[in-house]
Amino acid sequence: MTRANLAHRLHDAAEEAAHCTRCPLYRDATQVVFGEGPANAAIMLVGEQPGDKEDLAGQPFVGPAGQVLDRALAEAGLDRAACYVTNAVKHFKHEQRGKFRLHKQPTRGEIQACRWWLDRELEIVRPKLIVALGVTATSSLKGKPVVLSRVRRQILDIEPWRVLATTHPSAILRLRDSDEKEHAFRELVDDLRFALEFLKAP
């Protein structure tokens, strides 16, 4: 199948997802945030769910966590434009606190419901490697809850996929201590370098 055909299939899937009611999260979100990037990307980055900025823009990883991710990718030598970037859950789950919409973690049921769309993306893109950013993405791909520290920086065989689990950039943003923050960022860069080495291996 040509890249244009694959891109067409992704476009159709995104249009369908815009009308998804498989779980309640569509009700309070502005719009679905489907993945974006080359339809034949060798690497797929999977985050948790869109945040406030992503919900408004309709694009994944365009807010503060996206900026951390972009910096880490650049330092690791990975080109974001060559990656397919998406989330395990496609609608923004939040609670309103005054003027602010605060992120809420999706439930296991919501993650399972939205696996339908992640599977559609995987079937079309068929990446050589999936980088799972955080515990929600890793649990979604494993199909069960995981302890991130036990699986981090390993190539997991989740047939038919190869998955590398790492931290979510927003977890770095939440750290208050600047040394801890820098350390966590370096760990993310090292994980992404490991991903690049895997991609280059014959």
Residue numbers at the binding site for ligand SF4 (CB under 6 A)? 17, 20-23, 25-26, 32, 89-91, 110, 113-114, 117
Q: How far apart, in Å, are the Cα atoms of 139 and each of 103, 124, 130?
A: 18, 21, 13
Min CB(199)–ligand SF4 separation in Å = 28
Shortest gap between Cβ of 100 and ligand SF4 (angstroms)?
21
Least Å from the CB of residue 118 to ligand SF4: 9
DSSP codes of every residue in 25-68: GGGTSSS----BS-TT-SEEEEES---HHHHHHTSTT-SHHHHH
Partners of residue 94 on adjacent β-strands: 103
Category of 6 on φ-ψ map: left (φ > 0), alpha (ψ -120 to 50) or beta: alpha
Amino acid at 17: A
Q: Which is nearer to ligand SF4, 124 or 164 (CB)?
A: 124
Minimum distance, C-beta of residue 138 to ligand SF4, in the bound complex (Å):
18
Q: Which residue, 68 or 89, has its beta carbon nearer to ligand SF4?
A: 89
Q: How far is the CB of 81 from ligand SF4 (least distance, A)?
A: 25
CB of residue 104 to ligand SF4, shortest distance in Å? 12
The CA distance from 38 to 184, in Å, is 28
Nearer to ligand SF4, 110 or 121 (CB): 110
Nearest to 86 by CA among 108, 71, 105, 69: 69
Closer to ligand SF4 at the Cβ: 116 or 198? 116
Sign of the torsion angle spanned by Cα atoms 38, 45, 9, 62? negative
Of 150, 147, 168, 163, which Cα lies nearest the Cα of 89? 168
When the beta carbons of 30 and 40 are compared against ligand SF4, the nearer one is 30
Task: Tell me whether residue 91 or residue 94 sits nearer to ligand SF4 (CB atom).
Answer: 91
